[in-house]
Structure 1
Amino acid sequence: MTRVQSKARIEHYYWIISDWAYLGSKRLNALAAKYRLEVDHYPVRLLDVYAKTGGIPLPDRSIERQTYRFEEMRRWRDRLNMPLVLEPTGFPPNDELASCLVYAHKSRGGDVGELSAGIMAALWAESRDISDPAVLSDICREHELDGDALLDLARDRSIIAELDQKTADAIGKGVFGSPFYIYRGHRFWGQDRLDFLEELAAKDG
């Protein structure tokens, strides 16, 4: 009997409030569609990842690193021609409910990539407060989803536990930043590494 090999998948570990994950979101979804790859989107608690892997939260970084980040954000905003608010109002928002909303939608078999990209765009392109349940409900409606039902599910202990578990899984797989992509065992840190990921996907046909 001929054994059919399953198609490789992209594991996407990211912080839902990550500027770099936002900048990579549309290209990741487009890359996956181009090569007919499935993407497993896994929001994580990045501060927990940092605590285990030596990462430094943004407010604790030197002023030189913080100001350079703005330079890079402007460069990528222009390169990708994506709207980007450098300092969204109230940043950083609490990310738990938004992350759990993604897992809630995932548990129902929904298109997580589109919803996730929409949440990040609400923050980084529109400066909306994605810690606000009303804002998240509006984003769901914009994607023709039942926001109230998904938010109720997002608050369930099992969904919160999944966020915690995927954060632990990420650390176990060597993830230390956001966004982080794993494809066929190869790790890629940062949206600026998507070209390398695509090269590998193209070789696989």
Structure 2
Amino acid sequence: MAHIDYYFATLSPFTYLSGTRPAEIAAKHGATITYKPLDIMALFARTGGVPPKDRHPNRQEYRLQELRRRSQLAGLKLNPKPAHWPTNGAPSAYAIIAAQNEGGDVGQLVHNFGAACWAEDRDIAEDTVVRDVLEKSGFSPDLADKGLMSSADTFAKNLEDAVSAGAFGAPFFITDGDQRFWGQDRLDDLDAHLAGNI
């Protein structure tokens, strides 16, 4: 059975634009998927990336154009300059880690956190928002309080794992055969790889 490590950041608009497709692709091919939320700014710092605010204006303008195009193609509402971005991504990441340990539709939870930030202008660092997104996604809102120390350790480990595995952005998908796919616009390639076509 194939396996996918899915490195992502709840603050990444491109993670949001992935929707629930990573889970759907995994299910289509009978693959397992491990959700690995991480600190994207720390990943940039470790792998030669630059935070969006520090990029050349040409890159910033292109990013905004790309967000508009990709959101239209995905059929997802997106505010390219959300009210609460950047914010602290750790609380939402901890909730996702706890949910994965609990079992349930983690793919939908990841997407709902992205929507809260990028489509609903909500601050996903706030406890009330984290609890609401958990409940909306079919999880107990109390998961926000479970295993915080363990989730913090996993969150830090995910960053180390990402660097060691060759990831440098989000979303980033790595198969058990060490095939790497960066960006939501490479999901078709991941699908084709799992089908044995590339």
> CA 1:22 to 1:115, structure 2 compared with 1: closer, same or farther past 3 Å?
same
- Which residue of 1 is the match for residue 27 of structure 2? 33
Q: 1:12-63, CA deviations, whole angstroms, 9 ceiling, x for partnerless residues?
A: 0011110011111322222122222221110011111111111101111111
State whether residues 104 and 139 of structure 2, in contact with CA within 8 Å, keep that contact through their aligned partners in structure 1. no
In 2: Cα distance, 1:26 partner to 1:145 partner: 17
**SS of alignment partner, residue 178 of structure 1:** coil
Runs (4+) off by over 3 Å: none
Percent of aligned pairs with the same amino acid = 35
Deviation at 1:143, TM superposition (A): 2.0
- Which residue of 2 is the match for residue 163 of structure 1? 155
What number of residue pairs does the alignment pair up?
196
Q: How does 1:1-205 map to 2 (within 5 A)?
A: 7-147=1-141, 149-153=142-146, 156-183=148-175, 184-203=177-196
In 2: Cα distance, 1:30 partner to 1:191 partner: 13
TM-score by length of 2: 0.94
TM-score by length of 1: 0.91
In 2: Cα distance, 1:160 partner to 1:193 partner: 29
Q: 1:70 is matched by which residue type in structure 2? A: L
Q: 1:97 is matched by which residue type in structure 2? A: P
In 1: Cα distance, 2:155 partner to 2:137 partner: 22
**SS of alignment partner, residue 203 of structure 1:** coil
State whether residues 87 and 125 of structure 2, in contact with CA within 8 Å, keep that contact through their aligned partners in structure 1. yes
Q: 1:105-161, CA deviations, whole angstroms, 9 ceiling, x for partnerless residues?
A: 1122233212111111111121211111101111112123221x211115x212101
In 2: Cα distance, 1:78 partner to 1:116 partner: 20
Q: For structure 1, list consecutive stretches of 5 or more residues without a partner in the other structure.
A: 1-6
Q: 1:61-96, CA deviations, whole angstroms, 9 ceiling, x for partnerless residues?
A: 111111111101111111121111111112111101
In 2: Cα distance, 1:87 partner to 1:75 partner: 15
Q: 1:160 is matched by which residue type in structure 2? A: A
Q: 2:143 is matched by which residue type in structure 1? A: L
Q: 2:159 is matched by which residue type in structure 1? A: T
Range with greater deviation from structure 2 (104-113 or 182-191):
104-113
Deviation at 1:193, TM superposition (A): 1.0
Q: For structure 2, list consecutive stretches of 5 or more residues without a partner in the other structure.
A: none
